[in-house]
Amino acid sequence: MKKLQMMAATAVIKYPVSSEKAIRLMEAENKLLFVVDIKAGKQEIKKAVEELFKAKVMSVNTLIYGGQKRAYVRFAPESPAIDIATSLGLM
């Protein structure tokens, strides 16, 4: 059985991505795109985002692209992604 070790929230989330696609997802689907630690799982990413931004996360999808792991994080309607992006300085 694999032993799970929880990572610190700041170690899981590296930085947000600010591309045209990420901005479109933010406006249309209430999602933010983050580059995360390659070893982080979806549940770890969800807990880290909820802890760092005090927002309810609906779902997390991950993708390994160019040696980086990216997480598409969908937020609940009561916590808009645009508000979180504004607090991060993306907007």
Residue 3: the pLDDT is 41
**Are 81 and 31 within 8 A, CB to CB?**
yes
Residue 5: the pLDDT is 60
- What is the rounded distance in angstroms from the CA atom of residue 62 to the CA atom of residue 13? 12
Across the chain, which has 91 residues, the per-10-residue mean pLDDT values are: 64 94 95 96 95 96 95 96 92 79
Residue 6: the pLDDT is 67
DSSP state of 19: S
Residue 1: the pLDDT is 40
Please name each of the domains of the chain with its CATH number: 9-88 (3.30.70.330)
Neighbours of 28 (CB within 10 A): 9
